[in-house]
Structure 1
Amino acid sequence: MANPAFTNNPAFNGKGVPAIPTPSADQLQQQFDLPSAPDPAAGAPMTVDGTVRTSLGTFGVLLVGAAIGWITVSLVPLLWIGAAIVGFVLALVNIFKKEPSPALILSYAGVQGVFLGGISAFYESMWPGIVSQAVLATFVVVGVTLALFASGKVRASARATKVFLIAMVGYLAFSLVNVGLMVFGVTTDPWGLRTGVEIFGIPLGVILGVFAVLLGAYSLVLDFDFIQKGTQNRIPRKYQWTGAFGIMVTIIWLYLEILRLIAILRR
């Protein structure tokens, strides 16, 4: 026989059996909208602040390497050229590695810094003041791109990314052909086709330089988009190194393109 204390309680359906409350549609939606709990096995998630700190650390190593390259350019002239080759190899290793390696990324930053310091010193000896101009212009491009992305006015899209990849392949093909023509003596111009060809009186290198800067700006948008989505999706914290590496590669490329563009303009 059921206990009256239970059967008379509405929570037990009047039958001595606990009632199972049926949630409403609104309650179900509220539960569905709640953020999922982080997976303890995956470790701490990626954050924007963490990526910024990691990026600052890698750029600190880059600056140390740049100082070494700048100081030793006259003592060991081939050091920065060797650093360029090693840096290119490390870049490929980091790009094709499935998971980020902090040691390899920091090694890339240091070696690439030596290359940047050496080539910057070479440009500075030819065109005094060009390095400070290129650094300032690079900061402006990065700052404007970041501001536009943060405001939501510029976003990465599938179509824009597809056009970007096609343009990158075309620009790389031109660069390889231009270097080949210079190596085999087809053109004696120090910049090859970049200054040997003019369009409406404007050196081709200036037009391509502006085009390359735009490509670099969109590459930054892709880097920012990766960091934003990685943070939203709470991917593992180790991918902060991937975000930092991507930003560093893009900014180095931007700086070199701007450096060459200013040199052609000052020629």
Structure 2
Amino acid sequence: MRSSNPVFSRRGFSRDNGSAGFNAAPQAGGAAVGTAPGPVTGNPYADAPATDPYANNPYAQADVQYGVPQAPPTADRMTMDDVVTRTAGTLGTLIVFAALAWAVLPVDEANLGKSYGIAIGAGLVAMVLGLVQSFKRKASPALILTYAALEGVFLGVVSNVVDTHIADGAAMQAVIGTMATFVAVLVAYRTGLIRVNRRFVGFVMAAAMGFVLLMAVNLLFAAFGGGDGLGFRSGGLGILFGIIGIVLGALFLALDFKQVEDGIRYGAPKQESWLAAFGLTLTLVWIYMEFLRLIAILQGND
């Protein structure tokens, strides 16, 4: 299973191909590396025991050679503690810089243009850094933390503008909504209410592509025609698409949880925990922005 998140999808945090890129052997139900994909037989997410993707690793071969059955070293393998620690560090950096931007960059009428310019510049650089990291073969902690800091500046200014000029208290409501969504999806995933399988992934990918395409069309109409384009980000349609955006973000979270779980199960390198933190941060920023936009529309219509 490939994640819709570009960070995870390039790292093979998946069950149908083990941990591709981590010397993992192909799993049942997935196409072998280097071959054209064929018909899938059986459910790759069934409860049957999965083949050990590290059966052919050098540690296992050494054990067989010397006749001493030993567990392969795990000190360099990703654990849940690693993911939690790196995610907390990345989100913590984002929150600190968002708070600094909120406090330092004024959003009154006289300084709004300057602060907006800084926010847009930081957001564009953060987007470029995010794309660079998404397509790098290895995680770069410095790059990820720089992205988080710049994204924090962008979110801090935008949140302050919405909170000050459009909807008082919107930022805190968006934070609470994002946290509630994260907890709800995590509980639903852990209890089996959400089962991530091929059909689930296909649905999320199709919905995401349709959503992004509509937003891109709306942006083009807004850029060349002025106003809000086709109206997908204001009024009744804005509320509808805000809800859809939040739901899509929640579905992305479920995919991210599955990718992290599979990465840990199949022994992804410890450094990959930075990529897990980066991917989760991207999804949480998406959800927060959709909540902030939705709250601004709802309170702006009062």
The two structures share one fold, judged by TM-score above 0.5: yes
Task: Pick one of 271, 277, 281 that aligns with 1:248.
Answer: 281
Decide which structure has the larger Cα Rg and report it.
Answer: 1
Within-5 A mapping of 1:79-228: 79-126=118-165, 127-186=167-226, 188-189=227-228, 192-195=231-234, 203-228=236-261
Native 8 Å contact 2:215 2:232 kept in 1 = no
Mapped contact 1:69–1:118 kept (Cα < 8 A) = yes
CA shift, 1:195, in A, is: 2.7
Check the 8 A contact 1:43/1:236 in 2, yes or no: no
Identify which of 286, 290, 297 aligns with 1:257.
290
Match of 1:45 among 64, 70, 77: 77
What SS does the aligned partner of 2:78 have? coil
Q: Does structure 1 conserve the Cα–Cα contact (< 8 Å) formed by 2:218 and 2:228?
A: no
1:38, CA displacement in angstroms? 5.4
CA drift at 1:39: 4.5
Q: Tell me how far apart the structure 1 counterparts of residues 230 and 173 of structure 2 sit (CA, whole Å).
A: 20
In proportion to residue count, which structure has more helix? 1
Query: Is the 2:87–2:281 Cα contact (8 Å) retained in structure 1?
Result: yes
CA–CA distance in structure 1, aligned partners of residues 77 and 138 of structure 2: 15
Per-residue CA distance 1:105-148 (angstroms, 9 max, x = gap): 11111111111101101111121111111111111111100111
Deviations 1:144-198 (A, max 9, x none): 0011111122122111111211211111111111112122235x349933336xx
Q: Is the 8 A contact 1:155 1:225 kept in 2?
A: no
Q: SS of 1:194's equivalent? A: coil
1:179 and 1:192 in contact (8 A); partners too: no
| SS at structure 2 position matched to 1:262 | helix
Q: What is the identity, as a one-letter code, of the residue corresponding to 1:173? A: L
Within the alignment, does 1:70 sit opposite 2:102 as a pair?
yes
Q: Identify if the C-alpha distance between structure 1 residues 150 and 83 changes in structure 2 by more than 3 Å, giving closer, same or farther.
A: same
- The whole-number CA distance in structure 1 between the counterparts of 2:173 and 2:205 is 29
Counterpart code for 1:84: G
Quick check: 1:178–1:193 contact (8 Å CA) kept in 2?
yes
The answer to whether structure 1 residue 57 and structure 2 residue 92 are counterparts is no
Contact 2:249/2:283 (<8 A) preserved: yes
Give the 3 Å change call, closer, same or farther, for CA 229–261 of structure 1 in structure 2: same
Amino acid at match of 1:182: A
Q: CA deviation at 1:218?
A: 0.9
How far is 1:72 from its partner? 3.1
Q: Is the 8 A contact 1:181 1:192 kept in 2?
A: no
CA contact (8 A) 1:94 1:104 kept: yes
Alpha-carbon displacement from aligned partner over 1:191-238 (angstroms, at most 9, x marks no partner): 933336xxxxxx011111111111100111111111111111111101
- The TM-score normalised by the length of structure 2 is 0.70
Work out the CA distance in 2 between the residues paired with 1:140 and 1:235: 29
Q: Residues of 1 paired with 2:230 and 2:294: CA distance? A: 11
RMSD of aligned Cα (Å): 2.2
Measured in 2, the distance between the counterparts of 1:159 and 1:105 equals 31
CA distance in 1, matches of 2:232, 2:253: 27
TM-score, reference length from structure 1? 0.79
Decide whether aligned partners of structure 1 residues 61 and 55 sit closer, same or farther in structure 2, where only a CA change above 3 A counts: same
Q: Please list every run of 5 or more consecutive structure 2 residues that lacks an aligned counterpart in the other structure.
A: 1-50, 61-69
